Chain A
């Protein structure tokens, strides 16, 4: 009796130990914070070489599980056309492929970036996931993502693709993903046309000197400042300001040279000037004084509440502002306009540029090369979620564009706010690159951190440029 108790105790101990160790095994269930996640199962077996062949792009031959990880949560999709469209086409694809169990892990964007980087480090990426441009070269070198060049060329929708969107996902002559979601601007000035007209500007000022002039009027007439901005997350100053302002000073060739390691450096004079100008602007009182202590979600509330007559952010902020104002303040919604950044003094680049692109692409785990049927299903999914069904959905419902171009978008069905933003994004402005869609996260992390110091006035452009250049040389 006692002996059996001892054996039982030992067995229970072993079971406990095994169950603990099993917890860190390959197959794990992930719960999504702030999201509507189901479960995910880890990627399949052996590591293999990249594929260049494009099997039949149809999910029909495969019956089984396919894992997908993305960040279009149900919360995100409220008012965000790209997310809504993405969720819609995924649901359509699932319905059309009943034999395939599509296990999705859906995380909020910040959590997604951390989690997918962790899975990449562990060589445990899902079958299909969204690849950020700046990770392309590194993950391609590591053999984590499939070379999709041939797959893309063989796409039935290839003729309709806007091929300029592929550049962030390109390494040499190889392409590693199908750009996904909607092509959205990362830098737009959202402004109250009525308020600026009262200040003497029928349209948004073309120079920063005029903005400062308007600022005197606004601060004397009940506003705290002229433009709201939020940078506590540190990335906003880079993505939603410097990326465009830098282009005004350096022109596009400089950044292309940075991407290609063609000799340009962050310490080059035009870029240092852009940094110094950014620092000067954020010290001038034109912006809210708490710009480094609040994020973009807080800053856009300053515009929505009427505290500030303008706001700088990205397309994701415009979706939110539009949806909120439509409900709470229709008059302000009608009066909202969009403008590019004013031209800095001494800048010689395009006066009309704004950084726009597709920040993410559908990528496929290189391990799928081993399983032709599963790979075919993954390719079919990638084609579908970036194809004409998605493009038509976002064009018809939100006046947005994706990778696949849709001709004859009828804007007449949309209100002025939506039409104006469509024209701002795709028609009336010149596109420039989004810095952090390229290069390396380590470089941007250093720059973003130093940008807070720069805009607080505790460092200068030359020092920021030097530290960024050091990170560039060490990591890229």
Chain B
């Protein structure tokens, strides 16, 4: 049993552990990447200092900016799909008519526990043009005209690779939002019900304002998570057809390991970091404004 506050140096000592972890896992790799990005480096011991030439290339690199636009599109879909649908599910689970709530919670969360690579494989099978469930269902309802090679459709492929991500993480955000809604006083709902508010009105005018800060946390998690998305898209399309489903992290990987251009790959990773900060910063500004309103 603690009888008194531990000395400051003990507290600092313990705090050093996460700090050391952070420096080791984030700060040092970032600084190293920033350093390597100033070199023409094809791997191996020889590097040539080229200043900011890699960044000049990056600014002009159409594939990188195409990848960035794909990340933004993915974020938009996932914010609506993951957080939005999770909120709707939470509202549905919280209604009195839904039974076996814990089962819904457990099964809802289940996809989040599957590795992204497996999720990619599962959805590749769903989209398969000859043996996939999607085309089979279309045939079943007599819409053979809609059957197609889904993952080879340049216009749809980004949406199609986003769906597994949405499916996988709805349960994750559902759990966070459920815990936030459980802290709302039930009496507020009861009095609103007595005043004649229906379920939609209660959700919009009571729940949403009361869990606003949790929703902002969910949005930050969603945006930052989707800025670095890689694995399931890599499994499903490898960024194809062409570069139509290329995202920034995969492009950095391709440049670094397939093209073995480590210097430029480092510049791309610094670019991803800077753009990530900008997007999250813009979102914070937006959420601050939303909070004030």
Contact B242 A450 (CB under 8 A): yes
| Per-residue interface assignment for chain B, residues 119 to 135, with 1 indicating a CB less than 8 Å from any chain A CB and 0 otherwise | 00000000111100000
A452 touches B240 (CB 8 A): yes
User: Nearest-CB distance from B272 to chain A (Å)?
Assistant: 19
Distance to closest chain A CB from B159 (angstroms)? 15
Q: Which of B10-35 contact A (CB under 8 A)?
A: 10, 13-14, 16-17, 20-21, 24
B257 within 8 A of A: yes
A210 touches B (CB below 8 Å): no
A230 to B24, CA, bound (A): 42
Q: Indicate if the CB atoms of A289 and B149 lie closer than 8 Å.
A: yes
Asked if B46 and A117 sit within 8 Å, CB to CB, the answer is: no
Asked whether B260 lies within 8 Å of A9 as measured between CB atoms, the reply is no
Contact A441 B43 (CB under 8 A): no
**A141 within 8 A of partner (CB):** yes
B154 touches A456 (CB 8 A): yes
B262/A16 in contact, CB under 8 A: no
Instruction: Tell me the A120-144 residues at the B interface (CB within 8 Å).
Output: 120-121, 123, 135, 138-139, 141-144
Chain A residues, Cβ within 8 Å of B9: 6
Contact across chains for B46 and A143 when beta carbons are under 8 A apart: yes
**Is B259 located at the chain interface by the 8 A CB criterion?**
yes
**Contact partners of A143 in chain B: CB under 8 A:** 44-46
In whole angstroms, how far apart are the Cα atoms of A216 and B242 in the complex?
Answer: 29
Q: Which residues of A contact B239 (CB under 8 A)?
A: 449
Q: Is A475 on the interface with B (CB-CB < 8 A)?
A: yes
A9, B21: Cα distance in complex, Å: 16
Closest chain A CB from B239 CB (angstroms)? 8
Across-interface contacts of A21 in B (CB, < 8 A)? 24
* A123-B20 in contact (CB<8A): no
Confirm or deny: A442 has a beta carbon within 8 angstroms of a beta carbon on chain B.
yes
Residue of B41, B151, B259, B262 near A475 (CB, 8 A) is B259
B154 touches A441 (CB 8 A): no
Confirm or deny: B241 has a beta carbon within 8 angstroms of a beta carbon on chain A. Answer: yes
- B152 proximity list for chain A (CB < 8 A): 289-290, 292-293, 456
Q: Is B238 interfacial (CB-CB < 8 Å)?
A: yes
A450 to B239, CA, bound (A): 12
Q: Are A456 and B44 in contact (CB under 8 A)?
A: no
Say whether B254 faces chain A, with CB atoms less than 8 Å apart. yes
B44 near A123 with CB under 8 A, answer yes
Docked Cα-Cα span, A290 to B149, in Å, equals: 6
Answer whether A453 and B45 are a contact pair too, CB < 8 Å, given A13-B14, A21-B24.
Answer: no
- Whether B45 pairs with A232 at a CB distance below 8 angstroms is no
Residue of B nearest to A233 (CB): B238
Contact A121 B262 (CB under 8 A): yes
With A120-B43, A142-B44 known to touch, is A6 a contact of B10 (CB < 8 Å)? yes
Instruction: Please state if B240 and A289 are interface contacts (CB–CB under 8 Å).
Output: no
Which among A6, A13, A234 is the interface contact of B7 at CB below 8 angstroms? Answer: A6
What interface size band does chain A fall in?
A: 35 or more
> In the complex, what residue of chain B is closest to A459 when comparing beta carbons?
B242
Chain B CB within 10 Å, residue with most, of A21, A47, A232 = A232
The contact of B129 among A289, A441, A445, by CB within 8 Å, is A289
With A9-B10, A441-B259, A445-B259 already in contact, the answer to whether A121 and B43 are too (CB < 8 A) is yes
Q: Is the CB of A16 within 8 A of B149?
A: no
Task: Kindly state the separation between the CA atoms of A249 and B76 in the bound complex, as whole angstroms.
Answer: 47
Residue in B closest to A450 when the chains form the complex, CB atoms: B242
Chain B, Cβ-Cβ closest to A121: B43
Q: How distant is B19 from chain A, measured CB to nearest CB, in Å? A: 10
Measured between beta carbons, the chain B residues less than 8 angstroms from A45 are none
Nearest-neighbour CB distance to chain B for A341, whole angstroms, equals 23
Chain A: CB-nearest residue to B264: A442
Q: Does B224 make an interface contact (CB < 8 A)?
A: no
Q: How far is the CB of A226 from chain B (nearest CB, A)?
A: 16
CB-contacts of A1-21 with B (<8 A): 6, 9-10, 13, 16-17, 20-21
Which residues from chain A contact B16 at a C-beta distance below 8 Å?
Answer: 13, 17
Task: For A456, give its contact among B237, B238, B242, B243 (CB under 8 Å).
Answer: B242
Q: Return chain A residues, CB-CB under 8 Å to B44.
A: 120-121, 123, 138-139, 142-144
**B284 adjacent to chain A (CB < 8 Å):** no
Distance of A156 from chain B, by nearest CB (Å): 32
The answer on a CB contact under 8 Å between B242 and A452 is yes
Q: Is the CB of A234 within 8 A of B238?
A: yes
Contact of B43 among A9, A142, A449 (CB under 8 A): A142
- Which residues on the A side are within 8 Å of B43 (C-beta)? 117, 120-121, 138, 142
State the CA gap A334–B5 with chains docked (Å).
Answer: 84
What's the minimum C-beta distance from B267 to chain A, rounded to whole angstroms?
A: 15
Complex contacts, B13 vs chain A, CB 8 Å:
6, 9-10, 13
B56: Cβ under 8 A from any A Cβ: no
Given contacts A16-B17, A121-B43, contact A445 B24 (CB under 8 A): no
29 pairs from A and B in contact (CB 8 Å cutoff): A6-B7, A9-B10, A13-B13, A17-B17, A20-B24, A21-B24, A117-B257, A120-B44, A121-B43, A121-B262, A123-B44, A123-B45, A138-B44, A141-B46, A233-B238, A289-B152, A290-B149, A290-B152, A292-B241, A293-B128, A293-B149, A293-B152, A293-B237, A442-B261, A445-B258, A456-B152, A456-B154, A456-B241, A475-B261
Known: A290-B128, A293-B127, A441-B260. 10 other contacts (CB 8 A): A6-B13, A10-B13, A20-B21, A117-B257, A120-B260, A121-B43, A289-B129, A292-B240, A294-B128, A449-B242
